[in-house]
Every structure is written in C-alpha cells, then in structure tokens.
Amino acid sequence: MAAAKKAVLGPLVGAVDQGTSSTRFLVFNSKTAELLSHHQVEIKQEFPREGWVEQDPKEILQSVYECIEKTCEKLGQLNIDISNIKAIGVSNQRETTVVWDKLTGEPLYNAVVWLDLRTQSTVENLSKRIPGNNNFVKSKTGLPLSTYFSAVKLRWLLDNVRKVQRAVEEDRALFGTIDSWLIWSLTGGANGGVHCTDVTNASRTMLFNIHSLEWDKELCEFFEIPMKILPNVRSSSEIYGLMKISHSLKAGALEGVPISGCLGDQSAALVGQMCFQDGQAKNTYGTGCFLLCNTGRKCVFSEHGLLTTVAYKLGRDKPVYYALEGSVAIAGAVIRWLRDNLGIIQTSEEIEKLAKEVGTSYGCYFVPAFSGLYAPYWEPSARGIICGLTQFTNKCHIAFAALEAVCFQTREILDAMNRDCGIPLSHLQVDGGMTNNKILMQLQADILYIPVVKPSMPETTALGAAMAAGAAEGVGVWSLEPEDLSAVTMERFEPQINAEESEIRYSTWKKAVMKSVGWVTTQSSESGDPSIFCSLPLGFFIVSSMVMLIGARYISGQLLFKLDTFIS
C-alpha cells in the first residue's frame, strides 16, 4: 500500500514556551495562526529552604527536547511534514537565573527562580547605598530594587557558590536567563552555542539600561557583576543561530532550522494578543499573573507601584516599544499549592468543580503572599494567610477563595494601571492556562466590573514567540502588518453582580491584605528558619484551622496541646 501523502500546509513555525510550571513546544501555521500540534511536560520546582525556589537547568533543557520530539511525532501522525517548520521562537519564564560552564555545558548551580526570596537581606543592604534623591537603579531599569530580578540572584551565586566563583575567575562562566540557556544549548552548547538574550529578557535583570538598550556599566559596578559573563543583547526578532540537534532527537528534520524569535513570556503574550497599539493591554494567568499595557515608544514611569519594562523590539532596525506592567507573584501557583501541599485536589482542573459546588467563599479570604507581595505593594514581609474562617468553612470555600484571590490581585494592578494611564480600560484581554476555568473568568468580570475577553486559542504566549520568529529578517513567513493579522474569535464574560457588591468584596479583600503584611523579618527569610514571633501565629493559625476543617478534633486537640507546651 502506498504511503499516505503528507498534508500540504503553508510554512510552519515552532515555539518553545518554557514556563515556571511546564515546558511546551507548539507548531503554528504561519498563514492562519492555527495551532496544529503541541506537547507539554510539567517541570519540578525545588524548595530547599523556606523562601528558596530552584529548578534544574538540565531538566528544563531535557523537557524542551522531549516536547520537540513528541510534537514532531504528533505532526507525523497527522500527516504533516515537519520539514515545513521554517523557524523556531523561544518564550520563557523571566528573571530566573542560570550560570553555567561554557567549556562543559554544565550548570554550576540550580536555576534560581524568579519567585525566590533568599536575597532579601542583599536587597536591603543595597537599598541603603541608593541616594534617596537619585534612585538611579529605577530610573535606568524601570524596576524597583527587589528579590524578583536577576541581578541580586546572580550576586548571591557569586557570593555563595564556590563553583561559580572559580568559573568566573577562570573565564569559564556564562550567565543567562532561561532564554539564554536554551538558545546557547540548542545552537550547539559547548560546540559553538550562541550566548545571547533579547531586549525584553535583558530588561528584567536590573543590569540593563532600558533607554540606551545596553548593559549598564554603572549598574554592573553597583551590583558587582562582571560584564564579561553577560550575554549579547539582540532584538526580539532576528536569526540568532541554527538548531543543532546534538541530542538523540528523532526530530532530526529541525537540524539547521533558525531560532529567530525570543521574548520573555509576558512580552510574548502581548505580541500574541496583538496589542501593538499604545494603550492596549492584556493579562496573563500563569504561575503568576501579569498585566501589561503597551505605552508605545515612550517609557512611562508609574506612580502607583507598576514596573516600566521593554515590551518588544521586532527587528534589529525596528523601534523599541515599552510597557507598564503589574506583576502578581502567585496566581496558578496557589492552585498547585492546594494540590501538592494540602492535597485538597488531585488535579488542577478540580478547583473549578469544588468552587462550583458552593458558588461563594462564604466570607473566607485567601491572600497567597507566599513570596511576599509584588505590585502594587512591593512588600517582602508579607506571607500567605487564610482568614474569615468559621466552622461552616470547608475545602470548597477555600477553593473558591483561592480563585477570588487571583481576581482581587488583578483588580489591584488594574486600578494602578488605570491611575497611571488616566484612561480606564473598557475591557480586559486575557490569556494563559487558567483562563480555561470559566468560574475564574466570570469572577474576574464581576470583581473588575468590566467585560473579560478571552481568545478561543489561549496559547498566546507561544503564538507571540512564533510570530516574532516567523517575521524575522531572513525568514519572512509571518506578516505582522495589521491587514495580514488573522482575526481571532473571542469569548466574552460580562459582569453579573451589581457594582456595590463588587466593591464590598474588594474592600474586604484589601483588609485581608493588610493583615498579611509584616509577618517576617529579614533574618527569618534569609535563614530559612522564621523567628518564633513571626512563624508561630501563622503556623498555628493555618494548621489548626485546616485540621478543624477536616473535622479531626482529637488531632487538633493534640496539636494545640503540643503547641501550647512548646510556647510555654
């Protein structure tokens, strides 16, 4: 029997979407923006001490290889010829910091994830050296001095990891965010790999001048970072290098395919949502929650706790565009926490079913400040709390409160965005894995009291990376001209509660947020061993409350007795 004829499609573009929780490889038709196939692998997060969050760079790289291979197999089963893949884009979790040996290709330490808090005392010590009337760090980078960004993570590695120190001394060390690590590895690694990053990822390091679009000598001196270990900064859309399949991939047809797009995940989503006009905004619901508003070719500095960041630069000779950003640390991560730490759900999808059973939090509020509070507060002393519990509260109410928490945090950054921009958003464009949860989307419309608009194809982060790759000079298979961009079908969620109820719930949330602040001191967050003053009330509160909720009264009594004995 003759072999089945391969389907003839327009040029295809692949996208690596490497996030905090998972890695994906997706393939799109460049003429229609249709998603043809994809594969996803969950990534482990390690928590070696309280407040520390790490990932294995080799596991991340292996997950990319696996996703590419599985997606290519699926395309084969669909009779789609993978030799039609003309370019590959990379989108990545931002700020997460890797240092590796350029001679062996081996990471010198685990990746220090953007959520990691170990550098809080470093931040506080550095902040004392910034003149009150001249915050040159913020004016050059658009960022507040925070544990969130790469410079302080890199400083910690240089101070505390002997393998990193030795590699720097011997001129073997390379630094990069996840995009740099992947592009270097995929273009040959120790055998000629390209050490680069793009302007969007560079703008999240706190070492990059967002005005001159260069690594800043004064900033590098301030953080004491050797400039020789930094990657070359390129635009978000150009050919960086060609795929070299040194790994045992069946997808050998991708050998020689250009890697020609690179965007930090939130910038990629902005491009994927086609927010190319000044004032257009999107909100992505992933591990965290990120609201970006395109401010055009001008830097707008926030008066209300938002970041100024590079949105994209789609070509070497193309202009740079900027954005205001509201960053929330914990969104989807709270669902993962309910699954992995508390065990009240078996899969992330179950949260919707639990929330639907009750349709209310019954006065329960959950502030998931596991890594402190990001925008608009920038309060590292905050920690997670669940309050408003009664004997009636059950796991369904906590599940509902967790979803509400994501929506309330979005309301806070949207309010800040509206005050900075002066023109309130009339609707919110959304994307990300959590947008599949219809209860979450309806809650978001109710709490914002504006419509929420979701594209039917929610993989806009990967789409943005694919668009940048396909549009690159020398590839040219994806037009970014407005008249050529594919129309996207949308699902719309309208507010279904009255404005007064929305405001009452929001004001109660803000009261809960204030109760989460001030839990930890620098000493406790650095040592990974919270002081008794800070940890006992929170630990006592959550443990005894959760035990009460599952009705284990005898166990609760034993815990209370032991805690009481310990305190006395």
Spell out the domains of the chain, with CATH numbers in brackets.
332-479+486-516 (3.30.420.40)
Strand-pair category, 237-242 with 232-234: unpaired
| Residue % of the chain over a pLDDT of 90 | 57
**249-256: Cβ within 8 A, 24+ apart:** 249/65, 249/68, 249/69, 250/69, 250/72, 250/73, 251/68, 251/69, 251/71, 251/72, 251/82, 253/72, 253/82, 253/83, 253/85, 254/14, 254/68, 254/72, 254/82, 254/85, 254/88
Phi, psi of 500 (to 5 degrees): -65, -45
Q: What is the pTM of this model?
A: 0.84
**pLDDT digit string, tens, across residues 105-152:** 999 999 999 989 999 888 988 988 887 767 888 999 999 899 999 999
Mean pLDDT is highest, among 169-178, 243-252, 488-497, for 169-178
Residue 528 has pLDDT above 90, yes or no: no
Which residue is it, tokens 């001490």?
Answer: 49
- Distance in angstroms (rounded) separating the CA atoms of residues 345 and 241: 43
Residue 404 has pLDDT above 60, yes or no: yes
Q: What element of type H or E holds 292? A: strand 289-296
157, 201 Cβ separation under 8 angstroms: no
Using the Cα atoms of residue 324, residue 430, residue 53 and residue 59 in order, give the sign of their dihedral: negative
**pLDDT digit string, tens, across residues 254-312:** 889 999 999 999 999 999 988 898 888 899 998 888 999 999 998 989 888 899 999 99
Residues shown for the chain:
568
CB atoms < 10 A from the CB of 518, how many?
12
CB atoms < 10 A from the CB of 486, how many?
12
Give Cβ neighbours of residue 292 (< 8 Å, ≥ 6 apart). Answer: 266, 267, 269, 270, 275, 281, 282, 283, 284, 309, 311, 323, 324, 325, 326
Q: Does residue 506 sit in helix, strand or coil? A: helix
Residue 437 has pLDDT above 70, yes or no: yes
Residue 544 has pLDDT above 90, yes or no: no
**pLDDT digit string, tens, across residues 300-354:** 898 888 999 999 999 999 999 999 999 888 888 889 899 999 898 888 788 888 8
As a whole number, mean pLDDT of residues 377-400 equals 91
Which residue is it, tokens 């490497």?
Answer: 18
Residue 78 has pLDDT above 60, yes or no: yes
Residue 558 has pLDDT above 60, yes or no: no
Residue 163 confidence (pLDDT): 95
Using the Cα atoms of residue 165, residue 115, residue 338 and residue 395 in order, give the sign of their dihedral: positive
Using the Cα atoms of residue 326, residue 351, residue 39 and residue 60 in order, give the sign of their dihedral: positive
Q: Is the peptide bond before 482 cis (omega within 30 degrees of 0)?
A: no
Give Cα separations from 386 to 9, 97, 171, 276, 508 (angstroms).
52, 31, 49, 39, 13
As a whole number, mean pLDDT of residues 468-476 equals 93
**pLDDT digit string, tens, across residues 165-190:** 999 999 999 999 999 999 999 999 99
- CA–chain centroid gap for 128, Å, is 29
